[in-house]
Amino acid sequence: MAYYVFDSSALGKHYHAEIGTAFVEALLQEPGARHFISRLTVVEIHSVFAGKVRTGVIAAADFQLLRVQLHNDIGRRLVRVLRMTDAHYQDAEGLLRQYGLTRQLRTLDALQLAVALDLRSRGMCDHFVCADQRLGEVAQQEGLSLLNPEHP
């Protein structure tokens, strides 16, 4: 059984067809696989949906439909939401101290990465699924197996 941790840049592809959608769909349909997101991803994905409305990619009514689909996916455990702890915030601070001076590691990305690293330490992250190149590079430096749906 494979364990996948998705960040919002990858999970968003499940809700709107774009480059990498087929790859994400294949992972989500993989028999026996488990798919994890942080509680932060739930918030971030709303921002992804809102951005698509602002840029005219989807209609405002679609925003509500995508929200319902996300919550249905969570309810049926297609993706499992992990709570964020003080330890994740502390680990994110450490990641920013380590990489923030030389890389464009953003706060929310550091939090996503802290969750993925925590899951890996517990044997629950075989692959970090991320379409954000900057975050993906840091994840690889931290020893995570990266799957970028835009460059499979």
Express each pLDDT in 46-88 by its tens digit.
999 999 999 999 999 999 999 999 999 999 999 999 999 999 9
Q: What is the pLDDT of residue 108?
A: 97
* Average pLDDT of the residues in 15-43: 97
86, part of any domain:
yes
Contact predicate 45/13, CB 8 Å: no
152, part of any domain:
no
Rounded to whole angstroms, the Cα distance separating 101 from 93 reads 12
133, part of any domain:
yes
Q: What is the pLDDT of residue 6?
A: 98
Provide the CATH number for the domain around residue 25. 3.40.50.1010
Domain that holds residue 95: 6-147
Contact predicate 117/145, CB 8 Å: no
Closest residue by Cα to residue 69 from 40, 49, 91: 49
- Which amino acid would we find at residue 119? L
Round the average pLDDT of the chain to a whole number and report it. 97
Q: What is the pLDDT of residue 152?
A: 85
What sign results for the dihedral spanned by CA atoms 7, 9, 14, 19?
negative
95, part of any domain:
yes
Produce one character per residue of 21-38: b if its CB has 16 or more CB atoms within 10 Å, e if not.
bebbeebbeeeeebbbbb
Q: What is the pLDDT of residue 104?
A: 93
Portion of the chain with pLDDT greater than 70, in percent: 100
Domain count, the chain: 1
Contact predicate 127/145, CB 8 Å: yes
What is the SS3 assignment for 52? helix
Rounded to whole angstroms, the Cα distance separating 60 from 41 reads 21
1, part of any domain:
no
